[in-house]
Amino acid sequence: MTLALTVGALTAGAVHLLLQRDLLRVVLGAVLLSHAVNLLLFASGGVLRRDEPLGADLDPATTADPLPQAFVLTAIVIAFAITIYLLVLAVTGRRQDVDGSDDDGREEAA
Amino acid sequence: MTPDALPLLVAVPLVAAGVALLPVRGGTGARALLMTLLTANLAAAVALVAATRDSSVLVHQVGGWDAGIAIPLAADALSALVMTVAALLTLACSAFALASGTGRLRLFPPFVLVLTAGVNGALLTADLFNLFVFIEVMLLPSYGLLVLARERRGTDASVRGSRLYVVFNLVVSTVLLAGVALTYGVTGTVNLAALAGAATDDPVVAAAVGMCLVALAMKAAVVPVHGWLARAYPSTSPAVTALFSGLHTKVAIYAIYRVYAVVFEGDQRYLWIGLLVFSATMVVGVLGAAGEQRMRSVLAFHMVSQIGYILLGVALFTPAGLTAGIFYLLHHMVVKASLFLSTGAIETRYGTDVLDDLRPRVRREPVLAAAFGVAALSLAGLPPFSGFVAKLSLVMAALDAGQVAVVVAALAVSLVTLLSMLKLVNAVFAPPLVSGAAAPVPVRADDRPAGDGTAGGAARGTARGDGGDGSGGGVGVATRTATARTSEVTWTRRSRAALAAPAVALAAVTVVLGLGAQGLLDLAGVAADGLLDTTTYVTAVTGR
């Protein structure tokens, strides 16, 4: 239940931040969202078995499921790569946060 | 082709991408490597079609682990067909990119190779989590292409497009991942074959896998969530838009077909959702297209509309419906790329894709006009082109299933499609013949949109494979200098032919598919059978 509440709180924060204008806040929202989903992945392996899956003699009844841990590890690096790229975009397109000039897309062809 | 060769379809492009990154002066080697590998990729995909046309399924368990533990790579008729068409498009669009200047970016060959690896992987994998990973492998080089492709560095427009595209795709990928997590939580596996039929028995599994389907539908730009595509796709260079048009959304469509067929086993209870949403996609997409004023925006909205048509095939889930949907998918990938390439050639030559600006400037372009005309009529679904076969079989399938409202929508949408295609033809490809009308204004060298010129920008251009070579064949790049700015771009015969050839080749494919549709319809039928009865696929992947 604690995990569900945490995932819920993180998702709520993510949605709030994703709807902001400033791209930096949007990036933070995306980070929160990927945190939430990583926790969800952990939860999918069962929450009651807490022992780390390391060592020779493992008891399947108490050892945590290693597969979701591998999923999370993969997802973390993917999200990390995209976050870095988004942060660069947040800097290069900074002006668009402020003036919000848009939007018929014709000014570039003017 | 043996099953054990399947990992090569992913591994070879990845290794080649690494090789293409080596800092060799000139970059000719990387471009030659790119074109060689894309040709080999096409040949391998054709071999895969030949190996799966008897509805057999090739499976390779990566790493030689037991089935169910290893990541399975599986190829059946559907994945082989989609891979073939995707390979053809990548080849044609890369040829166009090389002719139009985008391909001379130093990072272009490695990016396209990684993209190819991601597409092949996403089409072959039979595992939900690895589908997510391969979709990311496909998306990350796309982000690079999207922002770099316009004039070798980000412009305001392409940065704006990228910000939208990257944020959207990150959020949707996270939703897909959440779906995968929930699926693993309730079933204990993410292997597609092990999940076969799981969603029909248990609504909780249906909800979990349904979340994956929703995420995939968002990636395919289905209507409530289509605005990102119409905004992001036109923001980059014409070659990259054409390349993306056949890959990202179409891989999502493929995954929707696969997941609904295997995990839901075509459950009739949820089909009404698809019929509703995909019909709305057809209508809203085409209305958006009719209202646009730029060539590529029109085509992007048309893409949304056609995605509705394609997905109708899975929402009917009858033998005829699936065959029609798969045929429509393959036909549409070719036609859309051809349209983006012929308008892209115009945009590369005349520097803008705004219809009002183009109208007085475009001179007679008979070759491009012919290619565009053929593809446009095919898109609208007129005989004797492949679009007619696709629409006819889809409408017949919908009638068989008793979905009259869907049929009416599909036919009405075709009319509006034709209307907005004629708008493009009028503005660009058929300049006024009356002598009193405005004569075409000579094209000036400063045909780059304001803000794109390197002179005004503070940012440094990305390194190019080779500089403007000073000849007129350099696609206007050589005319960048201040003195040349006022002179007219000279176009050699060769550069014109190289720009037009990819569009013409793909337009020829749609004619061939229209006149000789039976061959592809048979193959689509084999693929549809594989979706209707997934036993062969499931047995092959689970190894039992």
Q: Are B68 and B112 in contact (CB under 8 A)?
A: no
A and B: number of Cβ contacts within 8 A: 110
- Amino acid A77 reads V
User: B354, A102: Cβ pair inside 8 Å?
Assistant: no
User: B160, A102: Cβ pair inside 8 Å?
Assistant: yes
- For chain A, the residue count is 110
- Amino acid B266 reads G
Q: Counting beta carbons within 10 angstroms of the beta carbon of residue A19, is it exposed (0 to 12), middle (13 to 18) or buried (19 or more)?
A: exposed
The 10s digit of each residue's pLDDT in A62-104 is: 999 999 999 999 999 999 999 999 999 888 877 766 655 544 3
User: B136, A78: Cβ pair inside 8 Å?
Assistant: yes
Q: What are the structure tokens assigned to B266, written together?
A: 């075509």
> CB within 8 A of B3, min separation 6: which ones?
B58, B59, B60, B75
pLDDT at B440: 52
Cα B40 from Cα B187, distance rounded (Å): 39
pLDDT at B166: 94
Q: What are the structure tokens assigned to B56, written together?
A: 């057999």
Cα A24 from Cα B108, distance rounded (Å): 28
CA distances in angstroms from A103 to A26, B143, B160, B195, B378, listed in the order given: 20, 21, 10, 45, 32
Nearest to A89 among B133, B159, B235 (CB): B159
Largest CA distance in chain A: 71
> Which residue in chain A has the smallest CA separation from B159?
A93
DSSP letter string, B211-257: HHHHHHHHHTT-GGG-HHHHHHGGGS-HHHHHHHHTTHHHHHHHHHH
pLDDT at A93: 74
Nearest-neighbour CA in chain B from A91: distance (Å): 10
What's the pLDDT band for A28 if we cut at 50, 70, 90? very high
**Torsion sign across C-alpha atoms B453, B457, B462, B465:** positive
pLDDT at B469: 39
Q: Are B389 and B521 in contact (CB under 8 A)?
A: yes
pLDDT at B482: 35
- Of B53, B73, B78, B52, nearest to B63 by C-alpha is B73
> Which residue in chain B has the smallest CA separation from A83?
B170
pLDDT at B473: 37
Nearest to B162 among A83, A89, A106 (CB): A89
Nearest to B167 among A67, A71, A86 (CB): A86
Cα B514 from Cα B421, distance rounded (Å): 19
pLDDT at B543: 82
Nearest to B143 among A23, A85, A92 (CB): A85
Nearest-neighbour CA in chain B from A34: distance (Å): 6
Whose structure tokens read 């060799």?
B24
> CB within 8 A of B227, min separation 6: which ones?
none
pLDDT at A33: 96
pLDDT at B156: 77
Q: Counting beta carbons within 10 angstroms of the beta carbon of residue B218, is it exposed (0 to 12), middle (13 to 18) or buried (19 or more)?
A: buried
A97 or A11, which is more confident: A11
pLDDT along chain B (544 residues), means of 10: 88 93 79 92 94 91 89 93 95 92 86 95 94 95 84 71 92 96 94 90 93 95 91 89 92 95 91 94 93 90 94 93 94 94 88 80 81 91 89 93 92 92 83 51 49 40 43 38 38 74 92 90 92 91 84
User: B181, A102: Cβ pair inside 8 Å?
Assistant: no
Residue of B170, B180, B190, B447 best to disrupt the A interface, most CBs of A under 10 A: B170
Cα B132 from Cα A75, distance rounded (Å): 9
Nearest to A92 among B159, B170, B235 (CB): B159
- Of A38, A86, A75, A24, nearest to B146 by C-alpha is A86
CA distances in angstroms from B123 to B110, B119, B199, B386, listed in the order given: 20, 6, 22, 24
pLDDT at B186: 94
pLDDT at B171: 95
Long-range interactions of B139-143: CB distance < 8 A, separation 24+ = B139/B169, B139/B173, B139/B248, B140/A81, B140/A82, B140/A85, B140/B114, B141/B110, B141/B111, B141/B112, B141/B114, B141/B115, B142/B111, B142/B115, B142/B244, B142/B248, B143/A82, B143/A85
Q: Which ipTM score applies to this complex?
A: 0.90
Residue of A24, A40, A69, A104 best to disrupt the B interface, most CBs of B under 10 A: A40
Q: Residue B120: how many CB atoms within 10 A of its CB? A: 33
Q: What are the structure tokens assigned to B541, written together?
A: 């992947």
| Chain B contact set for A33 (CB, 8 A) | 171, 174
Residues of A at the B interface (Cβ-Cβ below 8 Å)?
A: 18, 23, 26, 30, 33-34, 36-37, 40-41, 43-45, 67-68, 71, 74-75, 78-79, 81-83, 85-86, 89-90, 92-93, 95-96, 102, 104-110
| Chain B contact set for A75 (CB, 8 A) | 177
Mean pLDDT of A3-32: 94
Nearest-neighbour CA in chain B from A43: distance (Å): 7
User: A109, B353: Cβ pair inside 8 Å?
Assistant: yes
As a whole number of Å, the CA-based R_g of chain A is: 20
pLDDT at B442: 52
Cα B536 from Cα B32, distance rounded (Å): 40
Torsion of CA B462, B467, B472, B473, to 10 degrees: -80
Q: What are the structure tokens assigned to A100, written together?
A: 């919000």
> Which residue in chain B has the smallest CA separation from A14?
B171
Nearest-neighbour CA in chain B from A72: distance (Å): 10
Cα A101 from Cα A98, distance rounded (Å): 8
Q: Are B130 and B486 in contact (CB under 8 A)?
A: no
User: A41, B177: Cβ pair inside 8 Å?
Assistant: yes
DSSP letter string, B112-134: HHHHHHHHHHHHHB-BHHHHHHH
Whether the upstream peptide bond of residue A104 has omega within 30° of 0, thus cis, is no
CA atoms within 13 A on the CB side of A106: 10
